[in-house]
C-alpha cells in the first residue's frame, strides 16, 4: 500500500519536516496538533479548555481533509505539561466525542513545541 500525505489550510501548517497527516489504507495518522490558530499561525491564549478545543478543532480539520471525522477516531494521545489539567481536557473530550470513545493515552511531559500546555495526535479510520 502507498502512503498519501494530507495537508490543509484549515489547520496549522507543519512546523517541521512532517505532514499534517498520512493516509495508509483506510487509516489516517494525524500528527500532533497544538493550539495554533490556523489563519495566523499564532499560539492561542486562554485556559486549558480553550486550548484543548483549538487542538481538537485542528485535529478535526485535518481529519476532514483526509475524508473522515473525529467520530471515527480509533486512538488519541494527549500530551499535557500539567496533569492537573486532565479533568478539564476530559470535559472538552465529551464535547467533541461520543461513545464508543476512542482508545486514549494521556501523558505528562516536561515541554511541548512553542511552550504550549497541550498537544494531541490521532489515528482515525476512514471507513467502517
Task: Please tell me the distance from the alpha carbon of residue 82 to that of residue 116, in angstroms, as a whole number.
Answer: 11
| Helix 86-96 × helix 48-65 angle, to 10° | 40
Where in the sequence is the domain holding 107, given as residue range(s)? 3-125
How many structural domains is the chain composed of? 1
pTM higher than 0.75: yes
Beta-strand pair 21-24/118-125:
unpaired
Mind listing the pLDDT tens digit of every residue in the chain (128 residues)? 699 999 999 999 998 899 999 999 999 999 999 999 999 999 999 999 999 999 999 999 999 999 999 999 999 999 999 999 999 999 999 999 999 999 999 999 999 999 999 999 999 999 76
Amino acid at each position: 500500500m502507498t502512503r498519501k500525505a494530507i495537508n490543509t489550510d484549515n489547520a496549522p501548517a507543519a512546523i517541521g519536516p512532517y505532514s499534517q497527516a498520512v493516509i495508509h489504507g483506510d487509516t489516517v495518522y494525524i500528527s500532533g496538533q497544538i493550539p495554533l490558530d490556523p489563519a495566523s499561525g499564532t499560539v492561542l491564549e486562554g485556559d486549558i479548555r480553550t486550548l484543548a478545543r483549538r487542538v481538537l478543532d485542528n485535529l478535526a480539520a485535518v481529519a476532514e481533509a483526509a475524508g473522515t471525522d473525529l467520530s471515527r477516531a480509533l486512538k488519541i494521545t494527549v500530551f499535557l505539561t500539567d496533569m492537573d489539567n486532565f479533568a478539564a481536557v476530559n470535559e472538552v473530550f465529551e464535547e467533541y466525542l461520543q461513545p464508543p470513545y476512542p482508545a486514549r493515552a494521556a501523558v505528562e511531559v516536561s515541554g511541548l513545541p512553542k511552550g504550549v500546555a497541550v498537544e494531541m495526535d490521532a489515528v482515525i479510520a476512514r471507513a467502517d
